[in-house]
Each structure stands twice: as C-alpha cells, then as structure tokens.
Amino acid sequence: MSAGAARRCLLALLAAAPAAAAAGTEDRYPEFADEHLTAGRVIWVENCMTCHGYGIAGAPDPNKAKAWAYRLEKPRETLYDHALNGFFGPDGTMMPARGGNEDLSDAEVKLAVDYMAAVAQRANDLADEQAQSEAETDAVAESRLDPRP
Ligand code: HEC
C-alpha cells in the first residue's frame, strides 16, 4: 500500500470509530442520577473517552470489569493523583497527566475520575451478579443430578 493510501485508510478508520461508538454511548456510559457524576460524564466524554472508551494505548475501558476490579480497590486519592500527574502502570502503559489536557482543573479531572469509577463499579456489580446467578444455576443443576435430600 502506498503511504497516501495508508494515510487515507487510517483517516477513514479514525472517522468511523467515533460514529460507531456514539451509537452505544448511552448504554455503555450512562448518566447517573447524581449531579456530581453528570458533570463528570461531560468532562469524561470530551477528554477521557478518546482513550478509555476504545482501549487506545492500553487505556482501561471502565466497562471491562476485570480491568477495573483492582483499580477500584486503590484509594480514590491514588486514582486522582494518577489522573492529575500521570502514571506508568506495571504493563508499561501510560496515563498522561490530565489526559493530556492542561486546561482541565484539578476539580474537573477528579469529577471525570469519579464518573469513570462509577461506570467501572457498575460493570463490577454486574459481573458479580452474573457470577452469583451462574453459581445458583449450577447449584440447582447439581441438586437435580443428585437425588439425595
Ligand atoms: C492518551 C490516552 C489517555 C487519555 C486521553 C486518558 N487516559 Fe487515563 N489512562 C490511560 C492509560 C494507558 C491508562 C493505564 C495506565 C496503567 O495502569 O498502565 C490510564 C489509566 C487511568 C486511570 C487508572 C490509574 C490507576 O492507578 O490504575 C485513571 C483513574 C485514569 N486513567 C483517568 C483518566 C481521566 C480522568 C482522563 C480524562 C481527563 C483520562 N484518564 C484520559 C490513557 C489515557
């Protein structure tokens, strides 16, 4: 492929990605009743979704329960610090300070972190519920196989 064609191809991909993702944005990145999180969502969608919404550069998608389970266990202050000042994770992936937007205030970055943590918490709660209901289904199946009282 010529450099020109490669470039056009890349541009087409970049143009298509937000359109494709926009369709599912409401489901994947819901509004929460809490005003604090509503404000956080606006900042997050504008500044953080570019990476975190698509797994760009290894950014953890808050809808991936596993990617966030251990991060949710970090003190919130640590997550704020990593978002404000940047952070190199154990896999060598890098969170740039303020997501690369120097114009964001500390308060805005923290709101976006809180929003992302709320989505990640929701994903983890759903994963726990699923694991729970699978365990119950297995228990019922086993009790049917085992006729003893
Ligand atoms: C250029 C891509 C990019 C942008 C934009 C970006 N992030 Fe990240 N972020 C990353 C990557 C990559 C990681 C994973 C770092 C690691 O743990 O290895 C990460 C991790 C994080 C973490 C978890 C840190 C930890 O301790 O595990 C938080 C919190 C975070 N980002 C918040 C934000 C917020 C808030 C914004 C928007 C203001 C944002 N990010 C924008 C790439 C990005």
Query: What pLDDT does residue 26 have?
Result: 74
Pair of tokens at residue 33: 């009743």
109 Cα: distance to centroid of ligand 1 (angstroms): 11
Question: Do residues 1 and 67 both lie within one domain?
Answer: no
Phi, psi dihedral angles at 122 (to 5 degrees)? -60, -45
Question: Do residues 22 and 36 both lie within one domain?
Answer: no
Question: Do residues 88 and 40 both lie within one domain?
Answer: yes
Q: How far apart are CA 120 and CA 47, in angstroms?
A: 17
Question: Do residues 47 and 24 both lie within one domain?
Answer: no
Domain extent at residue 5: 1-29
pLDDT along the chain (149 residues), means of 10: 60 53 73 96 97 94 96 98 96 95 98 98 94 88 74
1 Cα: distance to centroid of ligand 1 (angstroms): 34
Ligand 1 lined by 131 (C-beta under 6 Å):
no
Query: What predicted TM-score, i.e. pTM, was given to this entire model?
Result: 0.83
Query: What pLDDT does residue 7 have?
Result: 64
Nearest ligand 1 atom to the CA of 93 is 18
What value does the CA radius of gyration of the chain take, rounded to a whole number of Å?
20
Domain count, the chain: 2
Question: Do residues 83 and 124 both lie within one domain?
Answer: yes
Query: What pLDDT does residue 73 have?
Result: 98
58 Cα: distance to centroid of ligand 1 (angstroms): 9
Spell out where the chain has E strands: 87-88, 94-95
Ligand 1 lined by 52 (C-beta under 6 Å):
yes
Which CATH number characterizes residue 130's domain? Answer: 1.10.760.10
Question: Do residues 14 and 35 both lie within one domain?
Answer: no
